[in-house]
């Protein structure tokens, strides 16, 4: 059921324009990894409490990649 939720992160339109080259590729890889970890966490969570160590570990893995994504976007916006 949770897999049907609409959850989309994307390259902000203002950052998608221009010659980002490698950086755009890095962002796309992070977005792919975020989606993979999100789905993994949903699968792990089924039938378990949010406080289950396995669920917490999956959540922390996802948080780390989300932090990387946010940091990359902030660094890009600071360069503008």
Query: How much is the pLDDT for 5?
Result: 45
Q: What pLDDT is stored for residue 13 in this prediction?
A: 54
Average model confidence (pLDDT) for the chain? 80
Q: Which pLDDT value is given to residue 33? A: 96
pLDDT value of position 27: 86
The predicted-structure confidence for 19-58, as pLDDT tens digits, reads as follows 455 577 888 899 999 999 999 999 999 999 999 999 999 9
Query: Cα–Cα distance between 63 and 37 in angstroms, integer?
Result: 9
Tell me the chain's radius of gyration from C-alpha atoms: 15
Q: How far apart are CA 23 and CA 54, in angstroms?
A: 32
DSSP symbols for 3-57: GGS-------HHHHSS--THHHHHHHHHHHHHHHHHHHHHHHHTTS-TT-HHHHH
What pTM did the predictor assign? Answer: 0.72
């Amino acid at each position: 059921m949770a897999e049907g939720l609409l959850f989309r992160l994307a390259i902000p339109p203002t950052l998608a324009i221009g010659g980002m080259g490698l950086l755009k590729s890095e962002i796309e890889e992070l977005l792919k990894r975020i989606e993979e970890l999100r789905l993994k966490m949903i699968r792990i969570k089924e039938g378990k409490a949010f406080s289950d160590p396995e669920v917490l570990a999956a959540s922390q893995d996802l948080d780390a990649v989300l932090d990387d994504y946010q940091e990359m976007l902030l660094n890009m916006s600071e360069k503008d």
